Amino acid sequence: MITAEITVTAQFYDLDPMQVVWHGNYPRFLEEARCALLNLIGYNYVEMEQSGYLWPIVDMRLKYVRPIRFAQTVTVEAKLVEYENRLRVDYRIRDQATGEVLTKASTIQLAVAAKTQELCIECPAALVDRVKRLLP
């Protein structure tokens, strides 16, 4: 499937009182990686809106394996794993130096017709066609 990666270095403002990245900052890291993936596909949030669909996240799961600490540089990988009936992206956050997996996550987004607010049973061609162009 299609994969995108970003690099993030934990900043002081990301930390909680225990001196590790606060759990609530992880969705921001996932969002940055998902945006890189959507840009690669050619269907980012602007293009989603232009195609007439909204894509709310309806499910997010995170498994914290090891904490991210101040100044630690990590790679956040976003991998498209489903796109025909829903948009499912799996994530791995790895320590850049060692490759050790620090976090596993996934998100699910569903297409909603912007005009009618109706949930779509299948993903619109605007997404599916772009994905299929990138697959071998």
Structural domains of the chain in order of their starting residue, each with its CATH number: 3-126 (3.10.129.10)
Single pTM value for the model: 0.95
Q: Count CB neighbours of 49 within 10 A.
A: 12
Q: In what order do the strands lie in the sheet with 57-64?
A: 3-9, 73-82, 87-95, 101-109, 57-64
pLDDT tens digits, one per residue of 20-61: 999 999 999 999 999 999 999 999 999 999 999 999 999 999
- From CA 86, how far away is CA 82, in angstroms rounded? 6
Which pLDDT tens digit goes with each residue over 64-118?
Answer: 999 999 999 999 999 999 999 999 999 999 999 999 999 999 999 999 999 999 9
Please give the pLDDT value at position 35: 98
